[in-house]
Amino acid sequence: MISLVDLTAQYHSIKDEIDAAVLSTLESGHFILGPQVVKFEESVAAYLGVKHAVGLASGTDALVIALRALNIGVGDEVIIPAYTFFATAGTVMSVGAKPVIVDVDPQSYQIDVSKIEEAVTPKTKAIIPVHLYGHPAEMNPILEIARKHGLKIIEDNAQGYGAEYLGKKTASFGDIGCLSFFPTKNLGAYGDGGMAVTNDPALAERMRMLRAHGWKKKYYSEEVGYNSRLDAMQAAILQAKLPHLDSWNEKRRELSARYTELLAPLDIAVPVEREWAKHVYHLYIIRFEKRDELQAFLKQKGIASEVYYPLPPHLAEPCREFGYKEGDFPHAEKAAKETLALPLYPELTFAQQDEVIAAVKEFTGK
């Protein structure tokens, strides 16, 4: 049996460090925010090369709080890619704004920068590029369009932790960068967690207020906020994991290069890494016309695989009100029918990987 990810394998590889972090948190008596969270916020800011980091309860909350901090709400439009996790669209809707969808590049799966400008209207307030699968979105043209039209940029970096665009870390380009520490992400907690990063001290302060009931001073709410705080246990765990992130990402890149080398001759469409990109392979995504048959065959052989994502946001029930329909974003719709994530995590062995490749080979008959 080969699983898509194996979180216990990673725990066992750094068990002593994690156990020590958990025990010291229990002894510290600080469980919500506190010194451990501050320390981790500083570590993330230093890693990404940004000035401020705000620890939050999830990546989804990071998007909501980023939108709120930028005063985006009812009557506003926000441009998002057509192929992404639903939260990118859902968070825009949850603050009352309209997600305006732009199709993706069918090879990199990133927002098609040549189609963004035609989606801009007088109501557009922001663009949310998503560094999907760990490949960066093409940031320079996006920054250029944002500058030209006075738009904000919120990077959805939930899948891109450690990725680079022209040598600079993703999440550090926009007004706000959003991170998720969901357990399966490249840097994962043992529970939910998220963060928003920015170089703007006023935005950082506003997000600190929004994560705790709109307080600057405790119990004196200045606006309606949330309870969305990173807890100290997750911060301590993540602090212990952060020094390993680069080597884990290198393992992901090494295993992905090996998949690509061995799968490409089987007429399987393999992921691309653009010349300006450093891909961190949150997911290793292949493309195959008979995807569902391939997935069923792999399952029979005891090999897990998953579709990210079977339903593009514009065809999801909550987006009906905007009148999107089948055929609006053909690249995203085709990707939803053809993409498949193969097992990938830093601790995956070559032997396990060979088993996956052999099964694909058997299926394709090449």
Ligand X SMILES: *Cc1c(COP(=O)(O)O)cnc(C)c1O
The helix/strand/coil state of 365 is: coil
25 binds ligand X (CB under 6 A): no
DSSP-assigned beta bridge partners for residue 56: 194
Closer Cβ to ligand X, 21 or 158, answer by number: 158
Least gap, CB of 63 to ligand X (angstroms): 6
Least gap, CB of 64 to ligand X (angstroms): 10
For residue 8, give the amino acid letter.
T
Q: Evaluate the CA torsion angle 68, 73, 79, 81 in order and state its sign.
A: positive
40: Cβ contacts below 8 Å, ≥ 6 apart: 55, 230, 235, 236, 238, 239, 242
Least gap, CB of 130 to ligand X (angstroms): 5
Closer Cβ to ligand X, 56 or 263, answer by number: 56
Closer Cβ to ligand X, 62 or 120, answer by number: 62
- Percentages of the chain per state (helix, strand, coil), in multiples of 5: 45, 15, 40
Least gap, CB of 347 to ligand X (angstroms): 21
Q: Evaluate the CA torsion angle 74, 77, 78, 80 in order and state its sign.
A: positive
Least gap, CB of 78 to ligand X (angstroms): 14
The helix/strand/coil state of 136 is: coil
* Region of 8-16, 152-160, 162-170, 330-338 interacting with ligand X (CB under 6 A): 152-160
Q: Which of residues 111-150 bind ligand X (CB under 6 A)?
A: 130
- Considering only residues 108, 159, 172, 186, which one is a binding residue for ligand X as defined by CB under 6 A? 159
Closer Cβ to ligand X, 204 or 341, answer by number: 341
The 336-365 site mask, x for binding ligand X (CB under 6 A), equals ------------------------------
Least gap, CB of 27 to ligand X (angstroms): 28
Q: Choose among 209, 133, 204: nearest CA to 175.
A: 204
Helix (H) or strand (E) holding 80: strand 77-81
Q: DSSP string covering 278-291, please?
A: E---SSEEEE-TTH
Q: What is the rounded distance in angstroms from the CA atom of residue 314 to the CA atom of residue 102?
A: 10
228 binds ligand X (CB under 6 A): no
Least gap, CB of 62 to ligand X (angstroms): 7
* Region of 31-39, 70-78, 151-159, 293-301 interacting with ligand X (CB under 6 A): 151-159
- Considering only residues 41, 76, 138, 156, which one is a binding residue for ligand X as defined by CB under 6 A? 156
Closer Cβ to ligand X, 194 or 271, answer by number: 194
191: Cβ contacts below 8 Å, ≥ 6 apart: 183, 231, 233, 234
Using Cβ positions, the residue closest to ligand X within the complex turns out to be 59
- Token code pair at residue 345: 């995590």
Q: What is the rounded distance in angstroms from the CA atom of residue 48 to the CA atom of residue 53?
A: 10
Q: Which of residues 50-109 bind ligand X (CB under 6 A)?
A: 58-60, 84-85, 87-88
For residue 252, give the amino acid letter.
R
Closer Cβ to ligand X, 55 or 194, answer by number: 194
- Considering only residues 25, 36, 172, 180, which one is a binding residue for ligand X as defined by CB under 6 A? 180
Least gap, CB of 329 to ligand X (angstroms): 17
Closer Cβ to ligand X, 252 or 263, answer by number: 252
234 and 221 in contact (C-beta within 8 Å)? Answer: no
Token pair 């009352």 in the structure block, residue: 96
The pairing of strands 77-81 and 98-102 is parallel
Least gap, CB of 302 to ligand X (angstroms): 26
Least gap, CB of 160 to ligand X (angstroms): 9
Closer Cβ to ligand X, 28 or 94, answer by number: 94
- Token code pair at residue 162: 């450690």
207 and 40 in contact (C-beta within 8 Å)? Answer: no
Tell me which residues touch ligand X (CB under 6 A): 58-60, 84-85, 87-88, 130, 156, 158-159, 180, 182, 192, 194
